[in-house]
Chains A and B, each alone.
Chain A
């Protein structure tokens, strides 16, 4: 791992650590471990931290420390990194109502892949995903990777409004939209669970490193669980 590790300046108050350049679980486990070690080492000089697929953005207080001193401590924190604790987080099961009325792109995606909608659903719900990163919007968890057969490019023209709870695919990533927003991902269904609720404790059902499995539910169950059709 050491040879792929690169620490670079991002800006006047930020360094970015690259632990690889691909979306894979091993790199992401190292990202989680590195983020935890850096947080512990920098304490309250750390303003914020953004772990992502293969990188960790480290935002520090430049009035308290310069980039040379922060970089030195980041390198020290990475020596003897313990990745074991970050290999696999909790398993979270998210119910999904997969249907044409809840997932506008389900049929088109199936046709494109030469599969039936049921086969797409079976493939999407048939494996565990890792939460690689959280960002873009509050509670937006990037999950990977979907089966190559149902990977799909972003829509040429993004939708002006994707409903809250939309379960979607872009490339080999999948996600649940935590709030209504514009979006270009392919919609397969709706999840009735709130992915971000400022009033709840915790405010998100998943954390980075967790494992997620989607469980198909029928329309009635979806509505019973509090789901709303757009």
Chain B
């Protein structure tokens, strides 16, 4: 597949890096693992096959081989040779066909995959692109015109789709469940009530490192801590009191106090929200978080696909 236009931010991603924090490498990987999962499932790919994560849209490709493609996630218009095709659906593509992705009408991140996945040599065990580190993908950066993405020719396939009523609608609000942890006890009851009660708005300064939120300031009796490891979803409260939910490209170590960490199931929805959207935080126990994940594993990831 040849890139004719990179779009706003298009990155090769697989399931992300694991066991590399000791080198200071972050995890990377899809901001919305659910949409990424369906992109591969609809193409009958292995679960972590490399696909393109598109933020906002604008990617244009030309097929160099016969293959199948699927776009899952944010509602971005998918045009094949100028004709709009359904998302959350596998489509055959003939060599020479032109694929154009428009700009998102709902959500922010969508995944474009091909049958068999893109064949990208892993760096540090993964193809996930982390631009800040210059690691992963084809050249450590976002896709740009002139890049060629290796993939195998595949003419046979199945026109699988996820029924429209099963597809997520992202909208402009989300409730993000947070397991209280880290320096949680250094936020007094009033500050915790404020954090878990007030609406926050997604800042336009949000990116793959973290989602910044604007709203009532949360005060911590600590203004800094001895630098320590940061897990996915950690909610960091810097001295200005405005929470930052740290995501896939977060730095591995930092010294701001944290009130806990958000569930990956919910950061997936958070990362679909455009700037100005409303977010509420809700406290849940680690046990509840685990049950939610187990349920998602059994149901949200296993929805029945249909075939045209």
B231 adjacent to A133 (CB under 8 Å) = no
Q: Is A66 in contact with B253, judged by CB distance below 8 angstroms? A: no
Given contacts A48-B27, A52-B228, contact A136 B18 (CB under 8 A): no
Which of B25, B132, B179, B286 is within 8 Å of A66, CB to CB?
B286
Partner of B231 from the list A10, A21, A53, A136 (CB cut-off 8 Å) is: A10
Q: How far is the CB of A206 from chain B (nearest CB, A)?
A: 11
Closest residue of B by beta carbon distance from A47: B18
- Inter-chain contacts of A57 with B (CB < 8 A): 21, 228-231
Contact A8/B182 with A139-B24, A198-B123 known, Cβ cut-off 8 Å? yes
A12 partner, pick from B23, B182, B233, beta carbons under 8 A = B233
CB of B285, distance to nearest CB on chain A (Å): 9
Q: Given B134, B253, B261, B289, which contacts A136 in the complex, CB threshold below 8 Å?
A: B253
| Residues on the B chain within 8 Å of A196, using CB | 23-24
Mark out the residues of chain B between 91 and 132 whose CB falls within 8 Å of any chain A CB in the assembled complex.
Answer: 123-124, 132
Contacts of B258 in A (CB 8 A): 10
- Cβ A53 vs Cβ B182 within 8 A: no
B76 at the A interface (CB under 8 A): no
* Contact present for A136 and B24 (CB under 8 Å): yes
Q: Which residue of A lies closest to B263 (CB)?
A: A12
- Contact check, B229 vs A12: say whether CB atoms are below 8 A apart: no
Bound: A49/B289 CA distance, A: 21
A67 touches B229 (CB 8 A): no
Taking CB atoms, residues of chain B closer than 8 Å to A59 are 21, 231-232
Nearest Cβ on chain A to B237's Cβ, whole angstroms: 14
> In the assembled complex, which residues on chain B have CB atoms less than 8 Å from the CB atom of A63?
293-294, 297
Q: Are A137 and B229 in contact (CB under 8 A)?
A: no
Contact across chains for B23 and A204 when beta carbons are under 8 A apart: yes
Is A135 interfacial (CB-CB < 8 Å)? yes
Residue of B nearest to A132 (CB): B227
Chain B residues contacting A53 (CB-CB under 8 Å) are 226-228
Question: What residues of chain A lie closer than 8 Å to B181, measured between beta carbons?
Answer: 8-11, 14, 16
Complex Cα spacing A16 to B286, Å: 14
Chain B residues contacting A139 (CB-CB under 8 Å) are 23-24
Q: What is the CA–CA distance of A139 and B133 in the complex, to the nearest angstrom? A: 10
- CB nearest neighbor in B for A23: B226
Say yes or no: is B180 at the interface (Cβ < 8 Å to chain A). yes
* A–B Cβ pairs within 8 angstroms, 19 of them: A10-B260, A10-B261, A12-B262, A12-B293, A52-B226, A52-B228, A53-B226, A53-B228, A55-B229, A57-B231, A59-B232, A66-B286, A67-B286, A136-B227, A136-B254, A138-B24, A138-B135, A178-B24, A198-B123
Chain B residues engaging chain A, CB cutoff 8 angstroms: 18-25, 27, 123-124, 132-135, 179-182, 226-234, 251-254, 258, 260-264, 286-287, 289-290, 293-294, 297
Beyond known contacts A9-B260, A135-B24: 6 more, CB 8 A cutoff: A10-B181, A10-B231, A11-B232, A59-B231, A67-B290, A135-B253
User: What are the 7 tightest A-B residue pairs by CB atom distance, in nearest-first order?
Assistant: A11-B261, A57-B229, A50-B229, A135-B253, A14-B231, A12-B289, A9-B181
